[in-house]
Amino acid sequence: MQRVILPGGTIGVLGSGQLGRMFAISARRMGYLVHTYSPGGDTPTGHIADKEWVGSYDDLDQVRDFAREVDVISFEFENVHSATAEAAEAIVPVRPRGEVLHITQNRLREKGFLAAIGCPLPPYRPVHSLEALHKAISEVGCPAVLKTAGWGYDGKGQCKIMAPEDCDAAWQAVGGGESVLEAFVDFAHEASVVAARGIDGSFAHYGLLENIHKHHILDITLSPARFGTALEAEAVEIARAIMEKLEVAGVLCVEFFVAAKGKLLVNEVAPRPHNSGHVTFDNACTSQFEQQVRAVCGLPLGDSKRLCPAVMTNLLGDLWAQGEPNWAAACRFPNVKLHLYGKTEARPGRKMGHLTALAPSVDQALADALLSREALLAR
């Protein structure tokens, strides 16, 4: 039987961004201590944590020292070398386990796993050389998208190929390393399922979330999605199957394309809380972050019931281009919640915070969320 870590215990987090920050808020509220480990100091998670460790993920000796001071370790993003998780796992439980991280941080390993368990995927081919890329294009066709196998997020490490003669430039653009070629999906919508699985196999989810991206970065999430219950049920069952096959203990997000005629295709899997799940901080009985605390510590999962419709809008560093945003103007909307991540430098495309609007209908929440974000630019 796996040991339950009760309040008063110490949770370690690999990573120190906004996901870790909101996780730490939930953990501290429940009476846990939190240690965070990342290469930088003065971080969003470090502002909330009891102890902030600064060190390279490749410094396995220091990672082991970190592990010796905590009772369990989780992570807030997957771009941590699996060797780091393995070093920690030799000392304390890591949840989700290091093997989950190893699979999901590499697109080829992830797609191979998903294909093996029967998940619906866009056509794809592994690519290890320029010659292989030309062959893959002849099989998959154009348009297609070439993606680096590892370390990609928010559209980074990707290049669209419109014609075979674009292959050479695309290969150079992604760095000429291990990659995957995917058929371009002319999708109608993007969606996600954020779910949690306990160490006892229990399962909880937040339904199907509707996502709108801008420049490859999540811009808006609607809860619930406006696609109907049948599609939601299918998406949830796919997420459940993935979590069970991976034996996840923790929170995981499955990103979907909704293609023509409502066909679901799995895009990516993230074995952690997800940007689209931020909406649950305000509109769910138990947020994705509290669920992560419960799951990794071995506690029973909380009720994931949606309390009301809500819409989340991301706040990127672009909003600071003309000076400090008008926070008072946005806060004049009484049904809108402001979340800022404590990042000291606003850069274009950098996620600095988000707004969540709560309303009787998702359409009203969307209107209020957009109006409140526009109000930030009032000078």
Question: Above 60 in pLDDT, residue 154?
Answer: no
In single-letter form, the type of residue at position 27 comes to A
Q: Which helix (H) or strand (E) holds 152?
A: none
Same domain assignment for residues 266 and 144: no
> What per-residue confidence (pLDDT) applies to 186?
87
pLDDT, mean of residues 67-88: 91
Asked if residue 300 is part of any domain, the answer here is yes
Instruction: Report residue 354: phi and psi, to 5°.
Output: -155, 160
pLDDT confidence bin for 143, thresholds 50/70/90: very high
In single-letter form, the type of residue at position 329 comes to A
Question: Above 90 in pLDDT, residue 298?
Answer: yes
CB 164 within 8 Å of CB 176: no
> What per-residue confidence (pLDDT) applies to 151?
66
pLDDT, mean of residues 205-217: 95
Q: What share of the chain is helix, strand, coil (3-state, %, to 5)?
A: 35, 30, 40
The whole-angstrom separation of Cα 200 and Cα 249 is 8
The whole-angstrom separation of Cα 261 and Cα 263 is 6
Report pTM. Answer: 0.94
Q: Are strands 72-75 and 10-14 parallel, antiparallel or unpaired?
A: parallel
Same domain assignment for residues 232 and 279: yes
Same domain assignment for residues 145 and 203: no
CB 354 within 8 Å of CB 315: yes
Same domain assignment for residues 34 and 136: no
Same domain assignment for residues 31 and 142: no
Asked if residue 110 is part of any domain, the answer here is no
DSSP secondary structure of 106-143:
BHHHHHHHHHHTT-----EEEE-SHHHHHHHHHHH-SS
Dihedral over Cα of 231, 237, 239, 241: its sign: negative
Same domain assignment for residues 56 and 33: yes
What mean pLDDT value characterizes the chain?
A: 95
- When divided into structural domains, the chain yields a total of 3
User: Strand, helix or coil at 162?
Assistant: coil
* Residue found by looking up tokens 């929440």 in the block: 365
Same domain assignment for residues 57 and 152: no
Same domain assignment for residues 179 and 211: no
Same domain assignment for residues 151 and 252: no
Q: Which domain holds residue 18?
A: 10-94
How far the first Cα of the chain sits from its last, in Å, is 59
> What per-residue confidence (pLDDT) applies to 1?
52
Same domain assignment for residues 158 and 199: no
Query: Pick from 236, 221, 146, 160: which is nearest to 189 by CA?
Result: 221
Last residue of one domain, picked from the residues 183, 203, 220: 183
Same domain assignment for residues 203 and 148: no
Structure tokens belonging to residue 255? 């990103």
The whole-angstrom separation of Cα 62 and Cα 41 is 15
Asked if residue 78 is part of any domain, the answer here is yes
Share of the chain above pLDDT 90, in %: 89
pLDDT confidence bin for 216, thresholds 50/70/90: confident
> What per-residue confidence (pLDDT) applies to 153?
58
The number of CA neighbours under 13 Å toward the Cβ of 182 is: 21
Q: Which helix (H) or strand (E) holds 258?
A: strand 250-258
Q: What is the tens place of the pLDDT at every residue in 354-367?
A: 999 999 999 999 99
CATH classification of the domain holding 303: 3.30.470.20
Share of the chain above pLDDT 70, in %: 98
> What per-residue confidence (pLDDT) applies to 261?
81
> What per-residue confidence (pLDDT) applies to 3?
82
CATH classification of the domain holding 79: 3.40.50.20
Same domain assignment for residues 208 and 321: yes
pLDDT, mean of residues 211-235: 95
Q: What is the tens place of the pLDDT at every residue in 242-274?
A: 999 999 999 999 999 999 888 999 999 999 999
Asked if residue 58 is part of any domain, the answer here is yes
Structure tokens belonging to residue 339? 């979340």
Q: What is the tens place of the pLDDT at every residue in 20-60?
A: 999 999 999 999 999 999 999 999 999 999 999 999 999 99
The whole-angstrom separation of Cα 266 and Cα 268 is 6
